[in-house]
């Protein structure tokens, strides 16, 4: 009896969808991502740890041969796949059609060692037709793509292991460096430095309302005085100085002009009407980058959330493959988009010939079509409203609109600028001519805007244009009189360059050639996870530790964080993927260098010479104040100008780097210290009670009396061994507001709740390392809130001890905040206080709230993003890795599996690598 054909894909969801299309003759199984990875040095067999593989798990002296290990999850998967392969007549490796997918297919081939024909099956959409075609049009595993992915992995290992130790030794608290993550952090830090150096300028203008003789009103703004254009924000440089030949109107001058016009007759003459044709083309279909940008701006999705949702849409057959930098559409997709536009918006909505788009990418690792709805007919969003989850529906709708709009006609119309002149306005002893203008765009043909309404994006320049387009100006003729009313002088301040958002950072990375479609989301997640960057709303704000890290990398590893070098490195990896460059030769030049290029090894060996760690971790704010990055975070070091003594001042955690001006630093230095706020005096002991901010959080403490001075001839007594009572404040308490009664209650803990009538043991309530709990002898139970420490009754305590210690039914902790339904799970999301700190949860997924993010201030979008990123990361694995397996040389059989177990933990190692897709 003939066996089945085994198809191996990456995810169970994809396996389920494809299985429906292939029928009973096929068995579809999932590898669940990578089954094998580059070993950590500590995972090497004992006999290899001192050999050429010992430092990197890569033999840099012999062709950069990597040493692989099967992952924990991969062991069982490979075992299951081997069993299925024994009964199969044919095997199809159907992993994704990019570098990562090709590498997974190669690793599966190496591990399974099948004795039946093996074919590489690729597709970029999951429909019955495309899957059927893919089984008929197969190929071999592309070794050039595999080499490119392996080279990228080895480069990241070499970079992380050579550069990161330099950071650890010189920057306290630094995690690691990464080949693409470090340039991304540099972009964010450089932008913050620009913001810190920015000098704002103030300028003014005048708004008014003009009225035609027919009673039609429209807004106008002052543009010129005596023929000279007045200054606007774009005319000022970052130093606050004018950089254009314009007239700078001050607030006082604008106010005086308004007063002069109000005191007389403010009537404008229409002196010109300027009409110009307006044409706007639709945007190209989505690439990975543009999808992440638009989803970030329109839907407020993080890059990670966008990719997670898109992955689900792809695996369930709704869209094409979501990792691509191609903007082209297949003939089938073009026909589908044109047909749908005709059906919905009329035959006039599409041009005579299909629109063709061409991207700049040559990258062989990317899929060959833009992101679009799947199939030869596109389901409308309305038809999927009840099928898709909320977040899936919104993203699908965005993709559908963009795709259909890309095949529609241009939006056309004309722009109109009306200029009004008011003559003889008194300005000091002279009289001036003031010119006001109004602009608008009249759309005579909306074209693609019927399908893709960009006005939903409130923050974009396009949105502003759309709003402008909706402003319809009245018909006027030259020479008409238009009285002005509602005259108002308006003052403006120039703004520093905006911080990067995830959307704008992805755009900046793409423009500079840093990273690739499959890596943008992981780059952002990595720099946030490592504590170099944090989110503030939608903005990405660098943490103080990022400044010395970037300073060290820029000074000692300048080439490695240079944007052009990183982009050229990416292009070289793409050349390897296209088979144009030898993997071994390229790695040898990258690591060892040549006559024209210093290799990574030489750069790293010289990087630690003569580094002043204190100077490196110091940022000078003023002549007497500097910021230091220390073991427990940033602090100010203030020098007393009279005595020369130094003292430390804590920084408010919510203060961002650009807000720490010399004035703010001096304000913090001059502020009275809050570490020793006297709360009151304990009436029983007569000792002062103080509230402090300590290394591990705020607390209260009693002040012990000083030892009396010994009289002459008396023997000095030994110092008392008594220690002061201390107690941590609850999360709801503050050093600035805690009162004496509350402080004394905290110091009196543990509180005696009552005696257990059965055992005769006292039950106490107290706070501990993992939160509030009850204790009875050697037994304990956690309780749901810190406030219950003071309020829980004996009956409630007995009931709690009657429940199982773990997993028993218990009253849920009252949520700190409650939001709406999570777009993925459809369940209500809450913020809770847990054993290990505050977290957000939808009942299925828990995500820790990062340090520095106030649980009380967290927004709904932040909660959804944290959950999405937690899902994207998947469960953490802590078990030991499987025995190692060494990669075979090209076209040679892999060596036998190693079984020697590692016995000693390796020295601290960290990699700054791009997580695999």
Cα–Cα distance measured from residue 401 to residue 450, given in angstroms and rounded to the nearest whole number: 9
For strand 118-120 and strand 88-93, is the pairing parallel, antiparallel, or unpaired?
parallel
C-alpha 766/C-alpha 768 separation (Å) is 7
910: nearest Cα among 335, 11, 293, 157: 157
Say if CB 196 and CB 642 are below 8 A apart: no
C-alpha distances (whole Å) from 490 to each of 222, 426, 723 are 10, 19, 62
> To 10 degrees, what angle do helices 546-556 and 600-607 make?
120
603 SS3 class: helix
Whether 306 and 395 have beta carbons less than 8 Å apart is answered as: yes
As a whole number of angstroms, the distance between CA 191 and CA 511 comes to 16
Distance between the two ends of the chain, CA-based, in angstroms? 39
The answer to whether 360 and 567 have CB atoms below 8 angstroms apart is no
Which of 62, 12, 66, 13 is closest to 37 using CA atoms?
Answer: 66
Structure tokens at 152: 């990228």
Following DSSP, what letter does each residue of 641-679 receive, concatenated?
TTT--EEEEEPPTT--GGG--HHHHHHHHHSPPSTTEEE
Q: Exposure pattern of 756-789 as b/e (b: 16+ CB <10 Å)?
A: beeeeeebbbebeeebbbbbbeeeebbbbbbebb
Q: What is the rounded CA–CA span in Å between residue 561 and residue 565? A: 8
The residues assigned a catalytic role are 321
Radius of gyration of the chain (CA): 34
**Among 583, 542, 602, 614, CA closest to 163:** 602
225: left (phi over 0), alpha (psi -120 to 50) or beta: beta
| Main-chain phi, psi angles of 276, to 5 degrees | -135, 145
Q: Please give the torsion angle defined by the CA atoms of residues 247, 248, 249 and 251, in that order, rounded to the nearest 10 degrees.
A: 180
- Taken in order 107, 113, 114, 115, is the CA torsion positive or negative? positive
Q: How far apart are CA 602 and CA 599, in angstroms?
A: 6
Residue pair 10/101 in contact by the 8 Å Cβ criterion: yes
Burial of residue 78, with CB atoms counted within 10 A of its CB: 0-12 exposed, 13-18 middle, 19 or more buried: buried
* SS3 category, 795: helix
Strand partners, 598: 593
The number of angstroms, rounded, from the C-alpha of 93 to the middle of its chain's C-alpha atoms is 33
Site of tokens 């073991």:
631
DSSP, collapsed to helix, strand or coil, labels residue 507 as helix
Q: Which of 290, 308, 296, 304 is nearest to 522 (CA)?
A: 304
Phi/psi of residue 630, nearest 5 degrees: -115, -175
Q: Would you call 714 helix, strand, or coil by DSSP?
A: coil
Residue 575: which H helix or E strand, with range? helix 563-577
Provide the Cα torsion 273, 279, 280, 281; round to 10°. -170
What the block records as the tokens of 896 is 């036998």
Joined tokens for residue 24? 């009973």
d(CA 195, CA 677): 35
Q: How far apart are CA 782 and CA 765, in angstroms?
A: 9
Cβ atoms of 804 and 867 closer than 8 Å: no
């Amino acid at each position: 009896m003939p066996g089945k054909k085994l198809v191996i894909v990456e995810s169970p969801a994809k396996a389920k969808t494809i299985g429906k299309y292939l029928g009973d003759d096929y068995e579809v199984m999932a590898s669940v991502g990578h089954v094998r990875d580059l070993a950590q040095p500590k995972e090497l067999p004992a006999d290899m740890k001192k050999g050429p593989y010992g430092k990197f798990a890569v033999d840099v002296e012999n062709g950069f041969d990597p040493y692989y290990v099967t992952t924990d999850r991969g062991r069982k998967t490979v075992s299951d796949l081997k069993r299925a392969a024994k009964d199969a007549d044919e095997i199809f490796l159907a992993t994704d059609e990019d570098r990562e997918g090709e590498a997974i297919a190669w690793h599966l081939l190496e591990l399974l060692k099948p004795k039946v024909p093996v074919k590489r099956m690729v597709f970029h959409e999951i429909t019955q037709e495309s899957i059927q075609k893919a089984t008929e049009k197969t190929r071999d595993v592309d070794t050039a793509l595999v080499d490119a992915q392996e080279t990228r992995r080895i480069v990241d290992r070499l970079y992380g292991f050579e550069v990161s130790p330099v950071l650890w030794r010189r920057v306290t608290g630094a995690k690691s460096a990464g080949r693409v993550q470090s340039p991304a952090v540099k972009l964010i830090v450089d932008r913050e430095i620009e913001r810190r150096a920015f000098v704002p300028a103030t300028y003014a203008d005048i708004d008014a309302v003009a009225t035609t003789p027919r009673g039609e009103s429209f807004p106008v703004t002052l543009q010129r005085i005596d023929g000279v254009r007045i200054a606007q924000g774009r005319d000022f440089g970052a130093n606050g100085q004018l950089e254009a030949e314009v007239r700078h109107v001050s607030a006082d001058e604008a106010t005086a002009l308004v007063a002069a016009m109000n005191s007389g007759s403010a009537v404008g003459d229409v002196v010109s009407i300027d009409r110009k044709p307006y044409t706007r083309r639709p945007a190209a279909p989505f690439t990975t980058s543009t999808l992440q940008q638009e989803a970030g701006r329109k839907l407020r999705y993080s890059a990670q959330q966008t990719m997670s949702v898109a992955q689900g849409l792809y695996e369930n057959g709704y869209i094409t493959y979501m990792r691509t930098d191609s903007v082209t559409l297949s003939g089938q997709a073009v026909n589908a988009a044109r047909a749908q536009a005709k059906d919905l918006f009329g035959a006039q909505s599409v041009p005579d010939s299909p629109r063709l788009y061409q991207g700049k990418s040559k990258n062989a690792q990317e899929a060959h079509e833009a992101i679009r709805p799947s199939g030869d007919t596109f389901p409308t969003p309305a038809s999927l409203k009840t099928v898709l989850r909320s977040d899936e529906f919104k993203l699908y709708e965005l993709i559908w609109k963009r795709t259909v709009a890309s095949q529609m006609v241009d939006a056309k119309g004309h722009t109109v600028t009306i200029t009004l002149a008011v003559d003889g306005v008194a300005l000091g002893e002279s009289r001036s001519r003031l010119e006001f203008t109004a602009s608008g765009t009249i759309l005579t043909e909306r074209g693609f805007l019927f399908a893709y309404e960009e006005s939903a994006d409130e923050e974009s320049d396009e949105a502003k244009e759309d709003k402008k387009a909706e402003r319809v100006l009245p018909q006027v003729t030259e020479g008409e009189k238009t009285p002005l009313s509602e005259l108002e002088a308006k003052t403006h301040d120039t703004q520093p360059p905006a911080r990067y958002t995830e959307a704008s950072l992805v755009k900046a990375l793409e423009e500079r050639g840093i990273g690739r479609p499959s890596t943008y989301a992981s780059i952002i997640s990595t720099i946030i996870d490592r504590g170099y960057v944090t989110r503030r709303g939608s903005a990405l704000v660098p943490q103080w530790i990022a400044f010395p890290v970037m300073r060290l990398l820029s000074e000692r590893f300048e080439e490695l964080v240079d944007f052009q070098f990183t982009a050229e490195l990416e292009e070289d990896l793409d050349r390897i993927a296209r088979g144009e460059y030898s993997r071994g030769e390229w790695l040898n030049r990258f690591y060892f260098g040549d006559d024209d290029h210093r290799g990574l090894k030489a750069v790293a060996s010289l990087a630690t010479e003569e580094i002043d760690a204190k100077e490196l971790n110091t940022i000078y704010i003023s002549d007497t104040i500097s910021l230091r990055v220390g073991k427990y975070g940033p602090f100010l070091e203030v020098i007393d100008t009279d005595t020369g003594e130094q003292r430390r001042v804590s920084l408010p955690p919510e203060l961002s780097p650009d807000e720490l001006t010399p004035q703010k630093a001096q304000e913090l230095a001059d502020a009275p210290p809050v570490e020793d706020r006297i709360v009151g005096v304990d009436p029983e002991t007569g000792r002062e009670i103080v509230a402090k901010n300590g290394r591990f959080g705020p607390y209260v403490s009693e002040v012990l009396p000083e030892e009396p001075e010994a009289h002459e001839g008396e023997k000095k007594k030994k110092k008392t061994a008594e220690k002061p009572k201390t107690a941590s404040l609850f999360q709801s308490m503050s050093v600035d507001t805690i009162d004496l009664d509350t402080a004394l209650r905290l110091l009196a803990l543990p509180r005696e709740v009552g005696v257990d009538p059965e055992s005769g043991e006292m039950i106490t309530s107290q706070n501990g390392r993992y939160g509030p709990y009850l204790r009875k002898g050697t037994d304990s139970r956690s309780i749901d809130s810190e406030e219950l420490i003071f309020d829980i009754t004996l009956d409630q305590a007995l009931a709690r001890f009657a429940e199982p210690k773990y997993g028993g039914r218990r009253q849920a902790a009252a949520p700190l905040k409650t939001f709406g339904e999570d777009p993925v799970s459809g369940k209500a999301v809450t913020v809770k206080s847990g054993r290990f700190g505050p977290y957000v949860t939808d009942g299925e997924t828990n995500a820790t709230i990062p340090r520095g993010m106030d649980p009380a201030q967290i927004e709904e979008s932040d909660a959804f993003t944290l959950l999405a990123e937690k899902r994207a990361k998947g469960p953490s694995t802590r078990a030991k890795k499987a025995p190692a397996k060494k990669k075979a040389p090209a076209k040679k059989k892999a060596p036998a599996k190693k079984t020697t177990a590692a016995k000693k933990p390796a020295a601290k190692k960290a990699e700054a690598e791009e997580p695999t897709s």
